[in-house]
Amino acid sequence: MKGRSSRTVLLWVANLLGVAAFLWPFVLPAAIGGQEAHSVDAPWILAGLVGAVGGLLFVELGRGGLGPKAVALIGVLGAAMVVLRLPGSVGGFSPLFLVVLIAGNAFGPGFGFVLGATGLLASALFVGGLGPWVPFQMVAVGWVGMGAGVLPRSGGWRIRIAALALYGFVSGYLFGAVMNLWSWPYIAGGSAIGWDATSGPAANLANYGRFYVLTSLVWDTFRAVGNAAMVLLIGRPMLGALDRAARKMDLTVRSPATSSGGSA
Amino acid sequence: MHPGAWLIWALGAGTVAASTTNPFYLFPLVAVSYLVHSTHRGTGPQARSFRFFLTFAAFAFTTRTLFVALTPGGPTWDGLWFDALEGARLATLLIVFGTFNAVTDPFKVLRLAPRRFHEPALAAALALSLTPRTLESVTQVREAQRLRGMDVARWRSWAGLVIPVLETGMEQAVVLAESMDARGHGRTRRSRYRPERWTTGAMLIAAAAVAAAGPFVIAYLDHSGALSVPTYPIRWPSVSMWLLAGVFCLGMPALVPRHEERR
Amino acid sequence: MTAAVSIESVSFSYPGESLRVIDDAILQIEEGSFVLVTGPTGSGKSTFLRTINGLVPHFTGGVFQGRVLVGGRSTVDVTPRELADVVAFVPQDPGASFVVDRVEDELAYAMENLGMEPHTMRRRVEETLDLLAIHDIRGRSVRTLSGGERQRVAIASALTPGPRVLVLDEPTSQLDPQGAEDVMAALQRLVHDLGMTVICAEHRLERVAGFADLAIGCGGGRFTIGEPHDIVDRFASGPPVARLGRLAGWDPIPLTVREARRMRGTMPSPPPIEISGAGAPILSASGIVASYGDKQVLHGVNLLAAEGEIVAIMGRNGAGKSTLLRCLVGLHRHEGSVEIRGSKPVPGRTIALCPQSPDSILFKETVIEEVQATVSYTRSGVDVTTVLSALGIAGRSHRHPRDLSAGERMLVATAATVAGGAPVLLLDEPTRGLDLAAKEKLQDYLRRYVAARGAVLFATHDVELVAELATRVILLANGEVIADGPPARVLGDSPVFAPQMARVFGPGWLTPEQVHGAMSAGEARTR
């Protein structure tokens, strides 16, 4: 029981830290000074996030957390993410998202977040290269997996695949929109598409919209279409396989007669 | 050889590969890795992972360079050159990783992790050991499916090849986790059956790796541009003898004799 | 005597399923006993074994009632790792459970986890290497071992920490008859000398029945413990001597060759050896030479099979059986030629092979779709439901293949291979995990298959299967054919490969039905 509650707390902490990391330049505009995005705060946010996500992983992967079975699956699926990132990306699309979408949907939000974050970190170590953007990506990919886990899992296969494909399409744009935020306040400051601390939220939102359409829309369309196409084309058998694994992961031991049972 | 020495070597070589796109550093690093692999590779199928990662590296390099053509805005020479350099960096990293895989067993490295970190380390070790296992499983599945009449070359057969590999991979990982648990993994302080010692050779390898990574880290941190290759416009990259010497330091394992297995 | 394992009103069902795999089991297993667990394919033997060290329910979830006490500790309260010093478990597929790369390190792994002293570990490793006769592979990588070697190494690494209870799930399925005998004898010594408790599930009862002093029978979720003769009589149909005993009305039924000899009475005169009329040749292979690395494993094997023949390929572990099959289908590089009806074999069309590990071909979500897939690849026109009911798995048609027991998965893979209707069908150890009823169905199906389509060749260690099914036996040793002929002649006087009937009644006898027929004919004459 203790493991479960500390898990939930850590999941929240990691998420809140993620939100804070993305949003704090908007709240404390005076801190923005340098040319390079997050050159000042990034190391700190990185430390905080890696600490929180690391703590989360440690508790999730450790005793009382997900248990050795889930640890094994995170190892396997994380490795699959690394491999799928190898061929590179076409525009903003990478096959890595397929694993996050499907595994998140099959295993649920918590697993989806942890897998997204861990897999991204691992793939960054090998493939993407490390930089201040990595913790932001970890959180953003984690969110993609978490969202996939929130989608309804009931209904027929067609409905599930259609919903997941639609979600993949939408999250393709959302991921880009969220990832932009980490650098936007710094790079386009003062222009018509930049962030202006003095104007209101509505004006800023419009600026961001223009910025997004100009810089990211085409790029993210690759991701959105790619995600949806992958889910539609090859998602069904893979979802079947992961669903089965997820069913077997239900480690709740119920012991109706005796009181000595507990959650494994 | 102490697995820690290999871990430090891989971290050193990985740092070097990750910090630069300069082919004058990357190519020697590939050569040095090959040398290390050929002098120290193990006996099991694990040892085949070098060749496997070499293929992987070539594949990643090619696709990454070609995908530029598909980027919005169309390909440019500058873009192509840039992506080729990035691809070369990635390919080198993969080759370094392949060497690490070929010379040591991930589960030996796993034992270095403190007991409290066993589970995260287990995930990492499983992920690391996955490549050779998956490789075996891919061959097995392809052969078996062909012999029941599946046309394995057809695109429509993909599920018959991917799903068994995926399912078997997940099942094997779970069975392994189960087997480790049932055999008392992480239960108490482990003792060592045949402890690997920090021999002079192992320490030399570790020291050389640190010495190799040092100059690259310094060059990276002072933003002098010594590690990058100018792409806009394309110019000939410069070479520093210090950095090149660092790369060759990573060849140290080739000079250290591998221990004869005690019988 | 105290109970090593006590199972107190245990019921268990897997998550999301209402069926109780174990239904109110109450058993006491006394310390120092050798227990055989028997029952039909898919009756929950593996699940039962896995409750003993807590893998069920800790690694499966589900609804668990009652408690299992091992060494005084309840498996629900502690995790499997806390029981690692008391119980050791050897799973069905030993290869998947290896953790470390080198054989010797694998043997030491559990001891290291328990924090044993280095000199104790050294001694135990040496002793266990001796006990299981695996000294010569101690330095090898576990990934390069053959099936039989893997099984020995898995058993050895379970033994090294000195468990009080050893649980084995089909430990001899990949061992040749002699190897199985040796391993069982080694385990019996540990039971007798050290008072270890051995609990072992095995379908090939002829290999273990003689060693057991207790047996647990399972069926329909019920688990009954008792005296082996009694339990085998109620829950299993084999071994062959027991089948003969049942046919002849002996009481109690014999379980071993020795017991059967005492009860056999007058010996029927040996039967004439039937030599099947050779049909037209369908498969001809000549001069097959193949190597692994720089080691030659087949030295010029010649092999002919005629239409309608069922050829068994036998030999001790490492004799080159699997390699020969792989050469025939063209998976392994070799010299020499292979022809089917005069032309080059086409994998999947004119020749098909069912792999030893069924999991490498299973990818559909139901059994019926899996078999249907083969039919659509090969356009063989085979009727899927007919195959499934012929093999006795029609009731599983809509289950997920990977959710079935090991024996049932083997049958699904076999079904998915035979559905291609290839004229030459190869099977590699097709009866792993199968009970006698399933084996008999498979045999009937294969006899009909060769009558309609061509020939079947199968590699196996299962002597009794060969005695029942094969029309011809090819014996391999060290990469060469050392005998080739009808089973009665090839197996009859071999100390290693002789079936139980030949051991009791002399060379020439193969099956209990055959012996019983001769016995009743003899009685009729004397009357």
Which chain B residues have a beta carbon less than 8 Å from that of C99? 107, 176, 179-180, 183, 185
Give the three-class secondary structure for C434: coil
Please say if the pLDDT value at position A243 is more than 60.
yes
Adjacent-strand bridge partners of C301: C288
- Amino acid A62: pLDDT: 57
The strand ranges marked E within C277-330 are 281-292, 295-306, 310-314
Based on the domain organization, do C66 and C127 belong to the same domain?
no
Do A87 and B173 lie within an 8 Å CB cutoff?
A: no
Based on the domain organization, do B57 and B174 belong to the same domain?
no
Number of Cβ atoms within 10 Å of the Cβ of C99: 22
Q: CA-CA-CA-CA torsion for B184, B185, B187, B192, nearest 10 degrees?
A: 100
Please say if the pLDDT value at position B161 is more than 80.
yes
Give the three-class secondary structure for C8: strand
Peptide bond into C281 cis (omega under 30): no
User: Could you identify the residue written with the tokens 């002072």?
Assistant: B222
Q: In this predicted model, what pLDDT tens digit does every residue of C394-428 receive, in sequence order?
A: 999 999 999 898 899 999 999 999 999 999 999 99
The minimum CA-CA distance between A247 and chain C, rounded to whole Å, is 8
C248 falls within a domain: yes
Based on the domain organization, do B122 and B202 belong to the same domain?
no
How many secondary structure helices (H) and strands (E) does chain B include?
A: 10, 0
Based on the domain organization, do B1 and B97 belong to the same domain?
yes
Please say if the pLDDT value at position C262 is more than 80.
yes
Please report which confidence band the pLDDT of residue A191 belongs to, taking 50, 70 and 90 as the band edges: low
Please report which confidence band the pLDDT of residue A148 belongs to, taking 50, 70 and 90 as the band edges: very high
How many angstroms separate the CA atoms of C98 and C121, rounded?
A: 18
Do A250 and C77 lie within an 8 Å CB cutoff?
A: no
Q: In this predicted model, what pLDDT tens digit does every residue of B194-219 receive, in sequence order?
A: 877 888 888 999 999 999 998 888 88
Residue with the bigger pLDDT between C448 and A7: it is C448
- Amino acid B263: pLDDT: 34
Check: CB of residue C369 under 8 Å from CB of residue C322: no
Do A251 and C59 lie within an 8 Å CB cutoff?
A: yes
Instruction: Please compute the mean of the pLDDT values over residues B87-94 and round it to a whole number.
Output: 90
Question: Percent of chain C having pLDDT more than 70?
Answer: 98
Q: Range of B12's domain? A: 1-104+190-263
Question: Percent of chain B having pLDDT more than 90?
Answer: 19
Check: CB of residue A184 under 8 Å from CB of residue A176: no
Q: Range of C428's domain? A: 282-485
Based on the domain organization, do B162 and B206 belong to the same domain?
no
In which element (H, E) is residue B158 found? helix B158-182
How many angstroms separate the CA atoms of A28 and C368, rounded?
A: 63
Please report which confidence band the pLDDT of residue A5 belongs to, taking 50, 70 and 90 as the band edges: low
Please report which confidence band the pLDDT of residue A25 belongs to, taking 50, 70 and 90 as the band edges: low
Please report which confidence band the pLDDT of residue A245 belongs to, taking 50, 70 and 90 as the band edges: confident
Do C84 and B184 lie within an 8 Å CB cutoff?
A: yes
Domain end marker among B130, B158, B188: B188
Based on the domain organization, do B249 and B123 belong to the same domain?
no
The total of structural domains in chain C comes to 4
Check: CB of residue B198 under 8 Å from CB of residue B5: yes
The minimum CA-CA distance between B150 and chain C, rounded to whole Å, is 6
Q: Spell B209-241 as b/e; 16+ CB within 10 A means b.
A: bbebbbbbeebbeeeeebbbbebeeeeebeebe
Do B126 and A86 lie within an 8 Å CB cutoff?
A: no
- Does A127 lie at the interface with B, CB-CB under 8 angstroms? yes
CATH number of the domain at C447, please: 3.40.50.300
Q: Which residue of C has its CA nearest to A243?
A: C365
- Amino acid B101: pLDDT: 86
Based on the domain organization, do C231 and C242 belong to the same domain?
no
Based on the domain organization, do C434 and C526 belong to the same domain?
no
Based on the domain organization, do B174 and B202 belong to the same domain?
no
- Does A250 lie at the interface with C, CB-CB under 8 angstroms? yes
In total, chain C counts a number of residues equal to 527
How many angstroms separate the CA atoms of C218 and C295, rounded?
A: 46
Please report which confidence band the pLDDT of residue A264 belongs to, taking 50, 70 and 90 as the band edges: very low
Check: CB of residue A246 under 8 Å from CB of residue A103: no
User: Could you tell me the strand order of the sheet in which C222-226 lies?
Assistant: C87-90, C165-169, C197-201, C34-38, C214-219, C222-226
- Amino acid A114: pLDDT: 86
Show which subunits contact B, needing at least 3 CB pairs below 8 angstroms: A, C
Is A69-248 in CATH node 3.30.450.40?
A: no
Check: CB of residue C106 under 8 Å from CB of residue B51: no
How many angstroms separate the CA atoms of C250 and C243, rounded?
A: 10
User: Could you identify the residue written with the tokens 């389509």?
Assistant: C453
Please give the structure tokens belonging to residue A193.
Answer: 């598409």
- Amino acid B112: pLDDT: 79
Q: What is the DSSP letter of C269?
A: P
Q: How far is CA C61 from the centre of its chain?
A: 28
Based on the domain organization, do B83 and B145 belong to the same domain?
no
- Amino acid C212: pLDDT: 93
B20 to each of B16, B26, B180, C330, how far by Cα in Å?
A: 7, 8, 40, 46
Do B174 and A72 lie within an 8 Å CB cutoff?
A: yes
C268 burial (CB, 10 Å; 0-12 / 13-18 / 19+) is buried
- Amino acid A262: pLDDT: 40
How many angstroms separate the CA atoms of C158 and C186, rounded?
A: 13
Based on the domain organization, do B16 and B62 belong to the same domain?
yes
pTM of the model: 0.86
Please say if the pLDDT value at position C279 is more than 90.
no
Domain end marker among B188, B208, B224: B188
C272 falls within a domain: no
- Amino acid C49: pLDDT: 95
Check: CB of residue C150 under 8 Å from CB of residue C142: yes
In which element (H, E) is residue C29 found? strand C22-30
Q: In this predicted model, what pLDDT tens digit does every residue of C145-192 receive, in sequence order?
A: 888 899 999 999 999 999 999 999 999 988 888 889 999 999 999 999
Domain end marker among B155, B188, B221: B188
Based on the domain organization, do B152 and B214 belong to the same domain?
no
For chain B, give the mean pLDDT. Answer: 83
- Amino acid A38: pLDDT: 55
Based on the domain organization, do C298 and C348 belong to the same domain?
yes
Instruction: Please compute the mean of the pLDDT values over residues B140-160 and round it to a whole number.
Output: 87
Q: What is the DSSP letter of C429?
A: S
The minimum CA-CA distance between C59 and chain A, rounded to whole Å, is 7
Based on the domain organization, do C39 and C154 belong to the same domain?
no
Q: How many CB pairs under 8 A join A and C?
A: 56
Based on the domain organization, do C444 and C523 belong to the same domain?
no
Delimit the domains of chain A by residue range. Answer: 69-248
Based on the domain organization, do C168 and C152 belong to the same domain?
no
Q: In this predicted model, what pLDDT tens digit does every residue of C339-397 receive, in sequence order?
A: 999 999 999 899 999 988 888 899 998 999 999 999 999 998 899 999 999 999 999 99
The total of structural domains in chain B comes to 2
Based on the domain organization, do C341 and C393 belong to the same domain?
yes
- Amino acid A255: pLDDT: 67
The minimum CA-CA distance between A194 and chain C, rounded to whole Å, is 52
Written as one string, the DSSP assignment of C238-262 is -SHHHHHHHHHT-SSPP-SHHHHHH
